[in-house]
Amino acid sequence: MTDTLLNGAQYLDSLRDGRQIYVNGEHIKDVTTHATTRNAARSIARLYDSLHDPATRDRLTMVDRHGIRTHRFFTASYTAQELLAAREAITTWARMSYGFMGRTPDYKAAFMATLGAMPEFYAPFTNNALAWYKRYAAKGLFLNHVLVNPPVDRNKPVHEVGDVFVHVVRETDGGIIVSGAKMLATGSALTHATFVAQNSAVQLEKGKAEDFALVFIAPMDTPGCKLICRPSYEMAARSPFDHPLSSRFDENDAVIIFDNAFIAWENVFVYRDIEKAKRLYAASGFMNRYNLQGGTRLGVKLDLMCGLLAKGLASNGTDDFRGTQAALGEVIAWRNLIWALTAAMCLDPQAGPGGSVMPKLEYASTVRLFSTMAWPRVKEIFETILGGSPIVTPSSYKDFQNAEIRPLLDQYYRGSDSSAEQRVKLFKLIWDAIGTEFGGRHEIYERNYSGNHEQMRLDTLTFAKQRGIMDACTQLAEQCLGDYDLQGWKDSTWTFHADI
């Protein structure tokens, strides 16, 4: 049995390579110390430490079929109970960021675990798949992924947008040279490598788009690979008291640009193969599995929101009113819905690759869709039921340190059930969850991170057709229509009075 999972210090050390991260016109040399990312890096490091902490080690890790000790979701599950245990591991990590880090290392584990269960799918790159799985699982590596082409020329075939979209430029003996951009690489500055593939909705024309039909992994220090980051909310966050979430859980999103970047053959999984580039998602079960991670993480986030709403109402003295209680009941129902779906995903699974089990596609596509509705609705309830309270806070924790205004704050900002300091602390947390730039990004994240709003509905329909659900539903409708005709009931159970 090998146990080589990274700990927090090893993880932070592993990020100090030649990666090219750009923020505010600056090439960041060390993401573990720079003000844009240092606390987010430490939040991830805590996850790695928890893999070794006696209090959480057994909940988080297990020994896989290759004898490798790894995170329970970093390997395929072979029974419903193993899937449930994997959900517990996901929950344990998600609670460490209160559900506010979407792309912790277990997210991409949804895919990487399947490499070990079905490496032969990637022939002639079977050995690459198996080798990557073993290295990945053994260390608990942190991968981001980029599937989406930048939003330009969407009205043209992919192969006509070679100036922007990722494609192979040429081959060498050792690998391939690629150029192009991909989005949106969440958390990428803090990862070990990026996984690059085509979004399942992208159309690739045979005979024309082969150069774009690629699946590969690029280590973050790949020469020619640059990350252009969005503004850092962590850097803008002033203090834990003012920004308790953005100051430590801001997983920066970036556009990845490959500028004649070299990808060694050992990091290639699909090469100029349109069929495989498109079948990858269905064959691997990524869709089934990433929604278990995403749903579980959202369940934790909604747990926090239920608690915050109850506390906010108590602080305002509005918690006994019928309308506010009904609103809290709805937030709890959203929370229950998401948790119930993840339970069904574990306990009522379907067959997965290589004899494994994975969540049923219909549950996965449903949690995917309803997650995009849950968060905006919960946010709307907060904004309605708490009124203006989330922004009734002094500008900074420093106001509480100002002796001249402190007595006024203590008097006029007090809560119904709490001191002014406790009340302001609570509402600054609520505002960071729903209203700061970090909070705003979370709404656009929950709405879009797993594809655009139409695609997730269209996929749900496609899956229902593929898995016979649509046929069964149509048959039931036809059965009901077949119960009667112009002459009356076909079954003598019911009576029909033709003269009425």
Ligand X SMILES: Cc1cc2nc3c(=O)[nH]c(=O)nc-3n(C[C@H](O)[C@H](O)[C@H](O)COP(=O)(O)OP(=O)(O)OC[C@H]3O[C@@H](n4cnc5c(N)ncnc54)[C@H](O)[C@@H]3O)c2cc1C
What 8-state DSSP symbol labels residue 388?
T
Decide: 193 and 143 in contact? Cβ < 8 Å: yes
CB of 150 to ligand X, least distance (A): 8
CB of 76 to ligand X, least distance (A): 22
Return the number of the residue (3 or 443) whose C-beta is nearest ligand X.
443
Contacts of residue 420, defined as CB under 8 A and 6 or more positions apart, other chains included, come to 400, 409, 410, 411, 412, 413, 414
Backbone dihedral region of 180: left (phi > 0), alpha (psi from -120 to 50 degrees) or beta?
left
Backbone dihedral region of 98: left (phi > 0), alpha (psi from -120 to 50 degrees) or beta?
left
Return the number of the residue (184 or 429) whose C-beta is nearest ligand X.
184
Q: How far apart are CA 346 and CA 255, in angstroms?
A: 34
CB of 445 to ligand X, least distance (A): 4
Residue 61: beta bridge partners?
71
CB of 379 to ligand X, least distance (A): 15
CB of 19 to ligand X, least distance (A): 16
Return the number of the residue (185 or 280) whose C-beta is nearest ligand X.
185
Strands 214-219 and 268-271, by their bridges, are: antiparallel
Omega into 124 within 30° of 0, i.e. cis? Answer: yes
CB of 231 to ligand X, least distance (A): 13
CB of 451 to ligand X, least distance (A): 4
Residue 226: beta bridge partners?
20, 257
Return the number of the residue (48 or 107) whose C-beta is nearest ligand X.
107
Amino acid at 375: W
Place of tokens 């991968």: 143
CB of 121 to ligand X, least distance (A): 21
Return the number of the residue (185 or 229) whose C-beta is nearest ligand X.
185
Nearest to 117, CA basis, from 82, 65, 194, 63: 65
Reported residue count of the chain is 500
Return the number of the residue (148 or 177) whose C-beta is nearest ligand X.
148
Q: How far apart are CA 349 and CA 347, in angstroms?
A: 6
Amino acid at 325: Q
Binding site for ligand X (CB under 6 A): 103, 144-148, 151, 154, 183-186, 253, 441, 444-445, 448-449, 451-454
Return the number of the residue (178 or 346) whose C-beta is nearest ligand X.
178
What 8-state DSSP symbol labels residue 483?
T
Contacts of residue 318, defined as CB under 8 A and 6 or more positions apart, other chains included, come to 324, 385
CB of 366 to ligand X, least distance (A): 18
What 8-state DSSP symbol labels residue 184?
-
Nearest to 127, CA basis, from 274, 264, 285, 275: 264
- What torsion, rounded to 10 degrees, do the Cα atoms 447, 450, 347, 3 define? -120
Q: How far apart are CA 79 and CA 412, in angstroms?
A: 57
Return the number of the residue (147 or 341) whose C-beta is nearest ligand X.
147
Q: How far apart are CA 9 and CA 49, in angstroms?
A: 8
Decide: 190 and 208 in contact? Cβ < 8 Å: no
- Count CB neighbours of 261 within 10 A: 22
Return the number of the residue (370 or 445) whose C-beta is nearest ligand X.
445
Whole-number Cα distances in Å, 325 to 239, 309, 315, 423, 439: 33, 10, 14, 20, 24
CB of 269 to ligand X, least distance (A): 16
Return the number of the residue (94 or 420) whose C-beta is nearest ligand X.
94
Return the number of the residue (130 or 148) whose C-beta is nearest ligand X.
148
CB of 197 to ligand X, least distance (A): 9
